Amino acid sequence: MISKRYEIGQIAISKVNLTSALYEIENFMEKNEIGYVCVTNARTVYLANHDKQYCQIQNNSLLTLPDGAPLVWIANNKGFKSVEKVSGIDFMDAIFSVSIEKMYSHYFFGSTPYTISKIKANLQKKYPSLQIKGAVSPPFQPLEKFDIDSLARELNQLKPTFFWCGLGAPKQERFNALLQPKLEATISVGVGLAFEYIAGTVIRVPKWMQKSGLEGFARLVQQPKRLSRKVIVIYIYTIMQVLKSLLNN
């Protein structure tokens, strides 16, 4: 799955923008090729470069979408000018907008019962004919406690087109990598914070902040508990990767 990608250290990111990402997904589906999709940002790029197994999960995806301005800057610096940011929420909205026409159906898995209920209500209001085959808030528990076989049997019976996993990174990518081989007709996508955006429990920042690379900072303002020494390390690592892509151009 490494073709059509650019590298940031060991992780290989798909050379896509929102339009081409949708085209790629449709192409996979026409060929009956299913798998999982990763939506990666500066944090998960850092994690992948410090965890070989997690890096392999990212690199073995159908697509690893560049969700973050720094990832786009690096791609552009490497000469891949068509690459643009593809966030989880933008990817979901684009899929939802064509779901009725293309007969796509959906299953949501993750977050809290309140968030899940708001997701269903908000989506049914925005997309009245959207086919939602399931929406589950699982117990908060370690990965090994999930009954993945049981979930796979349910998904294979319901056959949703998309399984949207909102367990947060890196858990959701590890989860999808375990689940996907057991699925027959469903594409799994780890979208994390996008669940909160749809539910309205977290407010998305303006476009100019997204494009300027300040979206991560804005998230910290909204969710200050996320701030830690490791966050600072990740920011420094990301800046170094951007500078490296400039110098090697």
The tally of domains found in the chain comes to 1
Q: What per-residue confidence (pLDDT) applies to 249?
A: 66
Q: What per-residue confidence (pLDDT) applies to 129?
A: 95
Q: What per-residue confidence (pLDDT) applies to 202?
A: 86
Residues spanned by the domain of 97: 5-247
Q: What per-residue confidence (pLDDT) applies to 219?
A: 57
Q: What per-residue confidence (pLDDT) applies to 248?
A: 81
3-state SS string over the chain? CCCCEEEECCEEEECCCHHHHHHHHHHHHHCCCCCEEEEECHHHHHHHCCCHHHHHHHHCCCEEEECCHHHHHHHHHCCCCCCCCCCHHHHHHHHHHHHHHHCCEEEEEECCHHHHHHHHHHHHHHCCCCEEEEEECCCCCCHHHCCHHHHHHHHHHHCCCEEEEECCCCHHHHHHHHHHHHCCCCEEEECCCHHHHHHCCCCCCCHHHHHCCCHHHHHHHHCHHHCCHHHHHHHHHHHHHHHHHHHCC
249 residues of the chain, pLDDT tens digit each: 545 999 999 999 999 999 999 999 999 999 999 999 999 999 999 999 999 999 999 999 999 999 999 999 999 999 999 999 999 999 999 999 999 999 999 999 999 999 999 999 999 999 999 999 999 999 999 999 999 999 999 999 999 999 999 999 999 999 999 999 999 999 999 998 999 999 999 877 666 566 665 566 555 555 555 555 677 888 889 999 999 999 886
